[in-house]
Each structure stands twice: as C-alpha cells, then as structure tokens.
Amino acid sequence: MTRLPRLQGKELVRVLERSGFRVIRIRAVTLFLGILMEERLWCRAHSGEVIGPGLLRAILRDVEISPEEFRRYL
C-alpha cells in the first residue's frame, strides 16, 4: 500500500483541480468541489490546516481516485 503525504488544504484543492474538479463555492471552512456540476464533494479544511493520510484516503475514496493516480497529479 502506498503511503500518502500530508498536505495542506490549499495544496489538496490544487491537486483535485488538476484531476478535473473545480471549486463551486467556499462557505466558512467548507469547500464545495464538483466535476461538471454532476458530482459534488464537500471537504472541511482550512487552507493552512494539515490533512493527514487517513482523511486524505477517505477523500480519495469519495472522489474515486486511487492513491497512485493521486501521486501523478502532485
């Protein structure tokens, strides 16, 4: 199993944008991301907050991206 890095919230958003998501809106600390307005994901993260591997793995599971594919977008 591949180890996942620790990222800040703003870095995670950049990686998800490279994979096709876009920020729909930001409300307080909740980011609403979507692909072509069909699929929506909300992610609670401050821009400077460190996202650990467990939460990152859960987010990747929600957006159906494998850890190997995620590493390509880094």
Mean pLDDT, residues 11-29 taken together: 78
Residue 16 lies in a domain: yes
Query: Which pLDDT score is estimated for 45?
Result: 64
Nearest one of 17, 7, 19, 18 to 45, comparing CA atoms:
7
What is the mean pLDDT of the segment spanning 31-54?
Answer: 67
Evaluate whether residue 20 is within a structural domain: yes
- CATH number, domain at 30? 3.30.920.30
The answer to the question of residue 2 being in a domain is no
Distance CA 27, CA 6 (A): 23
- 30 within some domain: yes
Report the distance separating Cα 40 and Cα 7, nearest Å: 21
Residue 36 placed within a domain = yes
Work out the pLDDT band at 37, boundaries 50, 70, 90.
very low
Full residue range of the structural domain in which residue 67 is found: 7-73
Q: Is the dihedral of CA 16, 21, 26, 29 positive or negative?
A: negative
Rounded to two decimals, the pTM is 0.74
Looking at the structure of the chain, the number of domains it has is 1
- Angle, CA 28 vertex, CA 24 and CA 33 arms, to 5°: 20
Percent helix, strand and coil across the chain, each to the nearest 5: 40, 30, 30
